[in-house]
Homo-oligomer: A and B are copies of this chain.
């Protein structure tokens, strides 16, 4: 498959990797499967990528290109809400990316560019540097956790439960009664948004407490 192009390059390798991970899950992405999809010998890939780990880094960073850019004209909190909703949607579309982020710190150029944008917006809102750094980390963590939660419960990837029976009304009446509510929330974008908004509202109070700053935004101050 994918034949014809003749020559292999990094973008083609990354694209094929994402396609395999989307179709069959990250656990089924192997260098050998990838090679056969590219009609090439496994070792050919090693000429473009040092090892599988580097391939995963490239997948995670490269896919951030698809993120809708932050809208600078909007209020800072709704701009951030949109940005992280974009993250969440990206991770739902490509569950492998969220998984990769939990195993390898993402430090590629696109990831750093997004981080820079977020920190700039928080700073312009009047939030001090330390709080901004902390806010960035907490919001990213929440977003990744919520995305993993939804993808791990998406019908297509559920492992068949065997050992454990269903949740019983006798042992856990509340959890039992809320079973269907929780199942619905697990596939609901509104559930993600609710938590995100609660975090943003909390940082809004930090912003209000600080003196508003002009958005000139010159770097780490000289």
Contact = CB atoms under 8 A, between A and B. Distances in A.
Contacts of A115: 172, 175
Contacts of A176: 220
Contacts of A54: 162-163
Q: Chain A interface secondary structure, helix, strand, loop or mixed? A: helix
A185 B119 CA distance: 15
Contacts of A167: 107, 112
A216 interface: no
Interface stretch (A33-41, A67-75, A128-136): A128-136
A51 B135 CA distance: 41
Contacts of A145: 140-146, 148
B198 A202 contact: yes
A47 B103 CA distance: 31
Interface string A105-128: 101110011011001100100000
Interface in A142-173: 142-146, 148-149, 152-153, 158-159, 161-164, 167, 171-173
A50 B162 contact: yes
A148 B102 contact: yes
Given A159-B53, A163-B58, A202-B202, A195 B141 contact: yes
29 contacts: A50-B163, A54-B163, A101-B152, A103-B152, A105-B152, A105-B153, A105-B158, A107-B167, A112-B167, A113-B172, A115-B175, A116-B173, A119-B174, A119-B178, A123-B174, A129-B178, A130-B181, A133-B178, A137-B191, A137-B195, A138-B146, A138-B198, A140-B145, A141-B142, A142-B195, A144-B145, A177-B219, A177-B220, A201-B202
Q: Which 5 A-B pairs have the closest CB atoms?
A: A145-B145, A177-B220, A138-B195, A173-B219, A141-B145
Interface of A: 50, 53-54, 57-58, 61, 98-99, 101-105, 107-109, 112-113, 115-116, 119-120, 123, 129-130, 132-134, 136-138, 140-146, 148-149, 152-153, 158-159, 161-164, 167, 171-178, 181-182, 185-186, 191, 194-195, 198-199, 201-203, 219-220
